[in-house]
Amino acid sequence: MACDYERRRHTRADLDVYLEEVFFCGRQLGRTMDISESGVRYLTGLTTPVRAGEEVFLELPLPDHPEPLRVLGRVVGEMKRALFRTTSVVFTSMTQADAARVRDFVARRAAA
């Protein structure tokens, strides 16, 4: 069964960094899996409440950039795995500079 994440139209790049997620009723750390111009997929613990459709604020570093990305997104998919929950977020608001940084990062990874 395809999920929203698999229907992304943008190229994805592997990204393995910690992120901080702030949502309606709390905050937590997660670990990214990949990123595209339109969103990010990451792992969190199983104790994370299901938040499909909720807005989240994410802060995550990109390699070779001193400042982390700070983006607003909407949870479009969650899947429970053995020890983790996989969360897919579509970006809904980010600065033009952050969008350019993501495009550049994905393009460099795709070319490698």
Query: Total domain count for the chain?
Result: 1
Residue position matching structure tokens 């899947």: 79
pLDDT tens string for the chain (112 positions)?
334 444 557 789 999 999 999 877 778 899 999 999 999 999 988 877 767 888 999 999 998 888 999 999 999 998 888 889 999 999 999 999 999 999 999 999 888 7
- 52/49 Cα distance (integer angstroms): 9
Identify the domain containing residue 92 by its residue range: 14-111
For position 60, which CATH number holds?
2.40.10.220
Query: Is position 21 within any domain?
Result: yes
Query: Is position 64 within any domain?
Result: yes
Query: Is position 49 within any domain?
Result: yes
Q: What is the pTM of this model?
A: 0.86
What pLDDT score was predicted for residue 10? 76
Q: Coil, strand, or helix at residue 70?
A: strand
